[in-house]
Amino acid sequence: MSGRCYFSQDICGSEEKSANRGMFEQPCRRKWGLREENGTEYIYGGVRFLNSRDLYTIAYIPDLIEAKIDTFKITC
């Protein structure tokens, strides 16, 4: 559930801000909100829903094993 290395680069508009270059701004760790075009806003109570650490996926491991995935990358 990682792979957001270019998110900072896209947000900041600079290749130097890529996590792959060590200069990232950590946008995935910020609090974000959603607003629809009609003005409806969604409040997430402090959840950083773009942070891969918040994408708790351990419950999906049995499904991944059943899908014949045999290698997992686990990061902390």
Give residue 1's pLDDT. Answer: 40
d(CA 44, CA 51): 13
Q: What is the per-residue pLDDT for 73? A: 75
Count of other CB atoms within 10 angstroms of residue 52: 15
> What are the tokens at 17?
């801000």
Q: What is the mean pLDDT of residues 40-58?
A: 70
The predicted-structure confidence for 26-38, as pLDDT tens digits, reads as follows: 777 777 778 899 9
1-20 pLDDT per residue, tens: 444 566 777 777 777 776 66
Instruction: Look at the alpha carbons of 62, 64, 69, 70 in this order and tell me if their dihedral is positive or negative.
Output: negative
Question: How do the domains of the chain map onto residue ranges?
Answer: 7-66
17 CB contacts (<8 Å, ≥6 apart)?
8, 9, 11, 23, 24, 25
